[in-house]
Structure 1
């Protein structure tokens, strides 16, 4: 196994573009790779591009008729069929949509293959994490579900236990749906409560299918306004214990940056520093609980496209490559100039929101029945833990 991390990157992923004024602005990807290069992280990791996912790979998760519908809308956006979630306000059709979506999926599948085969210790595709796409429909800015496809490919290669941890502000509904009845996949999603945010799923009572799959879906639904301390407390109150019990052969994580207090589409109040803390925790969990520390890290949502997303995912790339960027680091002037040239906005000056190190109270120090975050954590533990033979 190579001790180096692997960064999946192809400039053409920026063609995943829903058009002017859509929140999913591909400049967030361009600025992230720009910041990665400004910190010379592309020298600390191996950088590779995979081929677009072909039809046989896409059909590991997506229905054949849906892939055909995406192809038709990609060739002529006027042919977009809203019965498949295409041509909607969230997922407007655009020329080349199939090719761009399949390319992003291919990078995540390629990352999973490299990690499984021991060609890299860890791998990251920050263009991925499009976790809302369903087997037969686009949803929530997502056309093909690259996270599900990466997991399905791992299962095809022989993996018997794959854990998926999703810390995007939105519920990882597409991945949960893809593996609802599959006990080989444990999905853990930490997200804003469905009462207040799309996709209105991810209740703690959603615990997986029947039989052996019962308890394979884990959902921590956090109240709007949850900040750093509560978010980290909730993560550490659930994820480490479940991963220790499940003993995954591969860990796949999704790191949507839209939990941030500046994100315009959600209502959590998490800082960049807390996001970095969870990224580091996922890295540690891979080394502690995963055979061979096999870890695939993906991007996801994030709509503060200059201030937050590039910094958060550059931290992620550095952690994957064992070349962490220090929070107090002054951001290179070359990247700040690039931000202004592309967006006419002033870039942040450091890789921190000034909250590092982030403090939080471990679950083992006691439960506060009046705390809404503690109530959310306990609801999840009570729903899932007995199904897995654990004490809530």
Structure 2
């Protein structure tokens, strides 16, 4: 299925840069874009430039005092005590020059993606610079300053009055987005993530179901450490299919962190590219089945920026553009250009050899435990008169 798709990009995305040793590096977006261009699947005709989000748009989610603090931090006028109040200047989210402007471009990129789809110009849109799902109303958190996903959902609700399903497959719980819409029955959030027992932010339990009118519209599937492809895909597909059939959204917004991969240095999951091929394929299928194709996808986590993120994120675009994943060898031109800069040996194919996954003696136990998590999440939903 060939679809009209937009790829949001500007070199401004690279300005969201904490410091050279920080694990969050937006060079991932450039590596992905270059891989797609050298594979001849992305051209200038597909690219739309992001705009800078306005302060009024940021204030759809964030407190104006917080926005002002971010602006002050980016000009070195924020004191250390002020920074602590707002989560700015921490080890995770340190200060960098012009951080307000850089962050606003990421948000504006997501809003540009939203408008391009909801104004009927494209079926799908991809903003890999976005997906900063840990940002809160008055606090930066987990590498995230402004929460572009949450702002986009509020923007959709106010400008287009549509029901939104948010699906987050980052290894870290999509806490900032969940809490922003915890009482909203027009927004359904689904987060599939590594259990918070050993991983930031420690939230995302099954019983986090929403409050007031929003009760029953927040779904969490905390999977066990060392989960492999088969179990990850089973949980993802089963939950997504059943929940979307219950909620019947008008538009799908996905956050596509690539940190569930076995190579990722910050998490404990053991997925391979098989999972990252299936994630966009199902989103694409369900967007056409339920939402007339309206699907906006964002980036997110992913800290092996050489071996994992470019392939995982490129497959999202491949599916958006062609309805299929790419297979076989990676572009030799891309490999030649980037191998000399990479500190690790780059993979030569789109797929992974399953031997990259370490032997997990508890595989059967982990799979069984994840199946029970899935059953419990959906059983709890049914007890609240939700019938997927």
TM over 0.5: yes
Give CA deviations for 1:140-184 in whole Å, capped at 9, x if unaligned.
Answer: 000011111111111111223110000000000000011111111
Write the mapping of 1:100-119 to structure 2, written as runs, cut at 5 A.
100-119=102-121
Does residue 1:383 correspond to 2:384, yes or no?
no
Does residue 1:258 correspond to 2:263, yes or no?
no
Q: Which residue of 2 aligns with 1:126?
A: 128
Following TM superposition, the consecutive aligned residue runs of length 4 or more in structure 1 with deviations greater than 6 angstroms are none
Q: Which residue of 2 aligns with 1:198?
A: 200
Give CA deviations for 1:102-135 in whole Å, capped at 9, x if unaligned.
Answer: 0011000110111111111100011111100011
TM superposition shift of 1:50: 2.0
Q: Which residue of 2 aligns with 1:343?
A: 342
Alignment partners' CA distance in 1, 2:343 and 2:227: 31
Shift in alpha-carbon separation, 1:229–1:323, aligned structure 2, 3 A:
closer
TM superposition shift of 1:341: 3.9
Q: Which residue of 1 aligns with 2:32?
A: 32
Alignment partners' CA distance in 2, 1:350 and 1:319: 17
Does residue 1:284 correspond to 2:267, yes or no?
no
TM superposition shift of 1:273: 1.6
Give CA deviations for 1:224-249 in whole Å, capped at 9, x if unaligned.
Answer: 11110100111122111110111111
**Paired residue secondary structure (1:343):** coil
Give CA deviations for 1:178-204 in whole Å, capped at 9, x if unaligned.
Answer: 111111100000000111211000000
**Paired residue secondary structure (1:321):** helix
CA contact (8 A) 2:8 2:125 kept: yes
**Paired residue secondary structure (1:123):** strand
Alignment partners' CA distance in 1, 2:367 and 2:288: 35
Q: Which residue of 2 aligns with 1:8?
A: 8
Write the mapping of 1:114-263 to structure 2, written as runs, cut at 5 A.
114-210=116-212, 212-263=213-264
Give CA deviations for 1:254-279 in whole Å, capped at 9, x if unaligned.
Answer: 11000000000001111112111111
Alignment partners' CA distance in 1, 2:23 and 2:252: 29
TM-score by length of 1: 0.92
Alignment partners' CA distance in 1, 2:245 and 2:118: 20
Shift in alpha-carbon separation, 1:173–1:388, aligned structure 2, 3 A:
farther
Alignment partners' CA distance in 2, 1:190 and 1:335: 32
Shift in alpha-carbon separation, 1:354–1:44, aligned structure 2, 3 A:
farther
Give CA deviations for 1:333-375 in whole Å, capped at 9, x if unaligned.
Answer: 22112223433443210111045xxxxxxxxxxxx99911111
**Paired residue secondary structure (1:342):** coil
**Paired residue secondary structure (2:71):** helix
TM-score by length of 2: 0.93
TM superposition shift of 1:137: 0.6
TM superposition shift of 1:3: 4.3
Alignment partners' CA distance in 2, 1:172 and 1:45: 32
TM superposition shift of 1:58: 0.3
Alignment partners' CA distance in 2, 1:185 and 1:320: 23
Which segment is superposed worse, 196-205 or 371-380?
A: 371-380
Shift in alpha-carbon separation, 1:45–1:204, aligned structure 2, 3 A:
farther
Does residue 1:92 correspond to 2:94, yes or no?
yes
TM superposition shift of 1:384: 2.3
CA contact (8 A) 2:281 2:323 kept: no
CA contact (8 A) 1:5 1:322 kept: no
TM superposition shift of 1:44: 8.9
Does residue 1:56 correspond to 2:56, yes or no?
yes
TM superposition shift of 1:298: 0.7
CA contact (8 A) 2:3 2:323 kept: no
Alignment partners' CA distance in 2, 1:309 and 1:271: 11
**Paired residue secondary structure (2:253):** strand
